[in-house]
């Protein structure tokens, strides 16, 4: 996929920033210590603030760096290569935490908060998930009620990233008095607002240094100027903000995948079995080739999403594709890295197990992949638009034609009833992801060519499984009825 070229100054500026970030990480960040102690040390947050990492995407007018989404992704990827918890802290702040304020906040809100958020004096958080409302944001129970003194907020948010030390929370809540019975709004709530209560840190499988808490709102009142955008328009804003959030999270997956490949290359070059290094064996080389091709595909597609955003085009759908592909890819790469390390990889001090644990959550948060696959599939069936770039690789051209035919057949067969055919939608989505990412990854050279071929194969396998969707669903129903005792 052809991308708009950066100017020399832009390339130089990015390279200088990434180099400075690398020096900071080498000097201050110990991922094993962060994982073991379950917290990001204050000196790391302070160092990140001095480096301007909390102001990455905040406009220069408010003291930030004014970087594009693509440039911020490069920084987050570099951080994630060393420590995923720190990358999540920065990425969440730069995306869901501050982008909504910069793009949709009132002048009063921007003036009061963006300089603090840019300097790191305050760190941002985002509150959407509830115990009964994860991927289904329409099930929210947190509510905002208009009062003479402002908007009163009551409810509870779960799994709030950065919540333990955040100074400002952006909260999605129902506001039936502002825009109708089903209306939702995005509202900024300062930590020191009376009625805000922060719960204890969660004990997690991975990203153990990342702060994750429950936040309760018991009659917390904020001015109406703290509402982002139009009252009642919160869900529409969230979908736009998630485009940024998912892209930055995908960049973190790229960094983690790079760390997994780096560790693997170092290990297979020195580990000897049967008289030679294991990197000389064909099976090992096939693993490494797959990892290199997958990383290339992840990098190029995340970069393409950033460039698309820079052109002013919507990234809602591409960011969902990036999130699914990169999170699944990073986890599988970490798993292959552990496998190639053998028993050594299972030992925590080696660090590969930590990469694997840290990658697991990315398949769940900011939209569980199973749910996103259904949405991506539904979007492909509903869309009549052609993709930005037609593939040139012969394998991808064949996949494109077959996918178009499968979409046409599914439309004719199911009509609007396809929304209830989740396996059909997921398999259409898997083929769509393979094709879209393949178009970004294709090019000259062994790695791009291998990436395109592997993605085409994955797309065809998904379409092969499409014909079995109804049979698979019937089998699943039969087994479920036995397990729940209803048969």
**Residues tagged active-site:** 366
Torsion of CA 350, 352, 355, 358, to 10 degrees: -80
**Rounded-to-integer distance, Cα 44 and Cα 67, Å:** 21
**Rounded-to-integer distance, Cα 411 and Cα 418, Å:** 8
Joined tokens for residue 168 = 């400002």
479, with CB counted inside 10 A (0-12, 13-18, 19+), is: exposed
Q: How far is CA 368 from CA 134, 171, 326, 465, in A?
A: 9, 20, 13, 22
CB-CB neighbours of 433 under 10 Å: 26
> Shortest CA distance to 231 belongs to which of 175, 272, 191?
175
Joined tokens for residue 18 = 């990434």
3-state secondary structure the chain: CCCCCCCHHHHHHHHHHHHHHHHHHHHHCCHHHHHHHCCCCHHHHHHHHHHCHHHCCCCHHHCCCCCCHHHHHHHHHHHHHHCHHHHHHHHHHHHHHCHHHHHHCCHHHHHHHHHHHHHCCCCEEEECCECCECCCHHHCCCEEEEECCEEEEEEEEEEEECCCCCCEEEEEEECCCCCCCCCEEEEEEECCCCCEEECCCCCCCCCCCCCEEEEEEEEEEECHHHEECCCCEHHHHHHHHHHHHHHHHHHHHHHHHHHHHHHHHHHHCCCEECCEEHHHCHHHHHHHHHHHHHHHHHHHHHHHHHHHHHCCCCCHHHHHHHHHHHHHHHHHHHHHHHHHHHHHHHCHHHCHHHHHHHHHHHHCCCCCHHHHHHHHHHHHHHCCCCCCCCCCCHHHHHHHHHHHHHHHHHHHHHHHHHHHCHHHHHHHHHHHHHHHHHHHHCCCCHHHHHHHHHHHHHHHHHHHHHCCHHHHHHHHHHHHHHHCCCC
**Rounded-to-integer distance, Cα 217 and Cα 219, Å:** 6
């Amino acid at each position: 996929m052809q991308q708009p070229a950066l100017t020399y100054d832009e390339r130089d500026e990015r390279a200088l920033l990434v180099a400075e970030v690398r020096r900071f990480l080498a000097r201050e960040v110990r991922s094993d210590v962060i994982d073991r102690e379950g917290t990001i040390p204050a000196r790391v947050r302070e160092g990140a603030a001095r480096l301007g990492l909390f102001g990455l995407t905040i406009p220069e007018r408010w003291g930030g760096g004014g970087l594009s989404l693509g440039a911020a992704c490069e920084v987050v990827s570099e951080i994630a290569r060393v420590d995923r918890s720190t990358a999540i802290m920065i990425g969440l702040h730069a995306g869901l935490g501050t982008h909504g304020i910069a793009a949709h906040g009132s002048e009063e809100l921007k003036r009061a908060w963006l300089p603090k958020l840019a300097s790191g004096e305050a760190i941002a958080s985002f509150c959407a998930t509830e115990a009964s409302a994860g991927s289904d944001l329409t099930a929210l129970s947190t509510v905002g009620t208009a009062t003479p003194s402002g908007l009163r907020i009551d409810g509870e948010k779960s799994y709030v990233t950065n919540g333990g030390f955040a100074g400002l929370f952006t909260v999605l809540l129902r506001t039936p008095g502002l825009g109708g019975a089903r209306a939702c709004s995005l509202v900024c709530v300062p930590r020191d607002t009376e009625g805000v209560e922060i719960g204890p840190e969660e004990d997690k499988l991975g990203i153990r240094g990342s702060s994750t808490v429950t936040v309760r709102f018991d009659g917390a009142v904020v001015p109406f100027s703290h509402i982002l955008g139009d009252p009642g328009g919160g869900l529409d804003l969230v979908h736009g903000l998630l485009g940024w959030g998912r892209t930055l999270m995908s960049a973190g997956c790229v960094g983690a995948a790079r760390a997994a490949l780096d560790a693997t290359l170092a290990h297979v070059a020195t580990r000897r079995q049967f008289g030679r290094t294991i990197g000389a064996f064909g099976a090992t080389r096939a693993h490494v080739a797959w990892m290199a091709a997958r990383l290339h595909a992840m990098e190029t597609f995340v970069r393409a999403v950033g460039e698309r955003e820079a052109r002013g085009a919507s990234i809602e759908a591409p960011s969902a594709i990036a999130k699914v592909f990169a999170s699944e890819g990073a986890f599988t790469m970490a798993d292959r890295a552990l496998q190639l390390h053998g028993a050594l990889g299972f030992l925590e001090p080696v660090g590969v197990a930590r990469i694997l644990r840290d990658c697991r959550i990315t398949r769940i948060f900011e939209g569980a992949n199973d749910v996103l696959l259904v949405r991506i599939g539904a979007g492909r069936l509903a869309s009549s638009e052609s993709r930005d770039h037609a593939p040139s690789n012969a394998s991808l051209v064949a996949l494109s034609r077959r996918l178009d035919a499968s979409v046409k057949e599914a439309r004719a067969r199911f009509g609007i009833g396809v929304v209830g055919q989740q396996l059909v939608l997921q398999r259409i989505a898997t083929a769509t992801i393979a094709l879209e990412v393949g178009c970004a990854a294709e090019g000259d050279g062994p790695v791009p060519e291998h990436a395109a071929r592997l993605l085409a194969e994955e797309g065809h396998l998904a379409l092969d499984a499409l014909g079995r969707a109804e049979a698979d669903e019937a089998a699943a129903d039969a087994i479920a009825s036995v397990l729940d005792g209803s048969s």
